[in-house]
A and B are shown apart, each in its own frame.
Chain A
């Protein structure tokens, strides 16, 4: 039988297969280039970038928990100009679409970062992080109120023609409200989920383990939570969805596609087995072959319920 067609389009981002890596878990691509063939990824999503260099949080910045980890890295990064100078030459050379995850503390900052990335060759789209639990001023504040979220997306929309993909906060009462708000404000796609707000206490010292006290939970533990949110979001979404949260094996990525996602991102699994994204690509192809599907698009939203 003929190989199934794995190509997808994520709100204007053309991917050779539906698998990217989750922001913050793959550095700027370069760090993993000796371990896996990064040119085989559908897209490379890089660590969150703001306007100026940012030092991030004090250590400890992470702690392992059953089923994953809690992190509070705090969005350390080189700033948008530093990123373009230091990392874009390598990323461009891969020929793979680059999704830049951006953040800020004001609408103007997000818009300015988007503007500066607009004409950078190789940047295929922007993921707007409005859901990072680890930075007080930025991120999360925008993601937990639908009007603030919509206003931010609209502001960035005016600043760039690049495909825009807000990354929604998972800890909201009704995800559909945010899906509609983001779409109406001009989003081309939606990403979900970010980490879930979490905390770990050292009972001997009675202190929080993380220097930031709280962080975000990621890894296999959050996968079923993410599937439910992606499924709900897909019911309200008219734009494609990039799904992530706890993918360790191809089957978990396939669940996301069935629930309604167009593409998926592998996150925490990269730390344990850097070949996971490539195994997921292979696993999706196998699945399509076994089920006689010609294109991965047939899988998206194919959930049978009732």
Chain B
């Protein structure tokens, strides 16, 4: 964990409202593992705004990539960043995804939840399938990157403007049936809204496979100090405890989470 001044290399608009931000972050980038995140000090609001957490969506040498959606004042300010601007980031934070799948990796992304999964796909030894969902075509992002890496990609949108019409879990159900029919075990990795994560978790339990879910909780410190980002969790022996998503997560196995 370190607090560094990153330098903007490039900021690229993706679909409407989505951006890819590349920062030179040196050692921070080199140490990062898939599923970890950075805590970004909001440019121009350094004196008043809390930091914003973002998954690391990729790393090339000392360059760190963030893929984000503008939803409020913090991400709004970030979208004005230009090459050469300085951005203060703390990271890498959190536990990250385990990298030893027991079966075919099935990645389930909801909207910008694709970000940590991109990084994951680039580091997993075994290729699998990405199931990308979103409200509409513009919310299904960076799927080409997965295809370039040799991953199979399937898409679903709620309005049917791209891929299958409906929720991404429809794709997941089909994929799990297909794997079962061919006698293969799946390993699920998911990032997206709570409703989607919960649904993916239920399928992991039903299918008897592991499901790694990356939670999106509002955060303050990002380092485990303030206790703002807590989640009720369950140990293997059934006892419950209160974990900090920033420190003990953001990735939890489906059976650990008490929704």
Binding site for B on A (CB under 8 A): 24-27, 31-32, 34-35, 47, 55-56, 59-62, 64, 66-69, 71, 73, 76, 219-220, 248, 270-275
Q: Which of B49, B88, B224, B231 contacts A27 (CB under 8 A)?
A: B224
Binds A, one of B18-26, B40-48, B136-144, B248-256: B40-48
Q: A59-B228, A64-B49, A273-B41 are in contact. List 10 more A-B contacts (CB 8 A).
A: A25-B221, A27-B224, A31-B223, A35-B2, A56-B230, A60-B218, A270-B221, A271-B220, A274-B3, A275-B3
Interface of B is mostly: loop
Q: Which of A61, A67, A274 contacts B48 (CB under 8 A)?
A: A67
Complex: A56 Cα to B242 Cα, angstroms: 10
**What are 28 A-B pairs with beta-carbon distances under 8 A?**
A24-B226, A25-B225, A26-B225, A27-B221, A27-B223, A31-B221, A31-B247, A32-B225, A35-B3, A59-B228, A59-B231, A62-B218, A62-B228, A66-B48, A67-B48, A71-B228, A73-B226, A73-B227, A76-B230, A220-B48, A248-B47, A271-B51, A272-B46, A272-B49, A272-B50, A272-B51, A273-B41, A273-B46
Contacts of B88 in A (CB 8 A): 273
Contacts of A270 in B (CB 8 A): 221, 225
Contacts of B1 in A (CB 8 A): 34-35
Contacts of A62 in B (CB 8 A): 218, 220, 226, 228
Q: A31-B221, A35-B1, A274-B3 are in contact. Are A59 and B230 (CB under 8 A)?
A: yes
Q: A31-B223, A35-B90, A64-B50 are in contact. Are A73 and B2 (CB under 8 A)?
A: no
Q: Which of A35, A60, A64 contacts B223 (CB under 8 A)?
A: A35
0/1 interface trace, chain B 1-32, chain A, CB 8 Å (1 if under):
11100000000000000000000000000000
Binding site for A on B (CB under 8 A): 1-3, 41, 46-51, 88, 90, 217-218, 220-231, 242, 247
Distance (whole angstroms) from the CB of A57 to the closest CB of chain B = 9
Contacts of B51 in A (CB 8 A): 271-272
A272 near B242 (CB under 8 angstroms)? no
Contacts of A59 in B (CB 8 A): 217-218, 228-231
Complex: A32 Cα to B223 Cα, angstroms: 7
Q: Which of B47, B218, B242 contacts A220 (CB under 8 A)?
A: B47
Closest 7 CB pairs of A and B: A27-B225, A31-B225, A34-B1, A62-B228, A31-B224, A271-B221, A76-B227
Contacts of B227 in A (CB 8 A): 47, 56, 61, 73, 76
Contacts of A24 in B (CB 8 A): 226
Distance (whole angstroms) from the CB of B194 to the closest CB of chain A = 12
Distance (whole angstroms) from the CB of A121 to the closest CB of chain B = 23
Q: Which single residue of chain A is at the shortest CB-CB distance from B218?
A: A60
Q: Which single residue of chain B is at the shortest CB-CB distance from A67?
A: B48
A271 near B230 (CB under 8 angstroms)? no
Contacts of A35 in B (CB 8 A): 1-3, 90, 223
Contacts of A26 in B (CB 8 A): 225
Contacts of B223 in A (CB 8 A): 27, 31-32, 35
Complex: A271 Cα to B51 Cα, angstroms: 7
Listed residue (A55, A59, A64, A272) with the most chain B CB atoms within 10 angstroms of its CB: A272
Q: A31-B224, A35-B2, A271-B50 are in contact. Are A61 and B230 (CB under 8 A)?
A: yes
Distance (whole angstroms) from the CB of A148 to the closest CB of chain B = 27
Contacts of A67 in B (CB 8 A): 48
Q: Which single residue of chain A is at the shortest CB-CB distance from B221?
A: A271
Distance (whole angstroms) from the CB of B218 to the closest CB of chain A = 6
A27 near B50 (CB under 8 angstroms)? no
Contacts of A219 in B (CB 8 A): 48
Complex: A25 Cα to B227 Cα, angstroms: 9
Contacts of B229 in A (CB 8 A): 59
A69 near B50 (CB under 8 angstroms)? yes
Contacts of A272 in B (CB 8 A): 41, 46-47, 49-51
Complex: A93 Cα to B131 Cα, angstroms: 49
Contacts of A64 in B (CB 8 A): 49-50
Distance (whole angstroms) from the CB of A215 to the closest CB of chain B = 11
Complex: A62 Cα to B247 Cα, angstroms: 17
Complex: A73 Cα to B220 Cα, angstroms: 11
Q: Which single residue of chain B is at the shortest CB-CB distance from A55?
A: B242
B49 near A25 (CB under 8 angstroms)? no
Contacts of A76 in B (CB 8 A): 227, 230, 242
Contacts of B218 in A (CB 8 A): 59-60, 62
Listed residue (A55, A64, A66, A73) with the most chain B CB atoms within 10 angstroms of its CB: A64
Contacts of A55 in B (CB 8 A): 242
Distance (whole angstroms) from the CB of B170 to the closest CB of chain A = 29
Listed residue (B48, B227, B247) with the most chain A CB atoms within 10 angstroms of its CB: B227
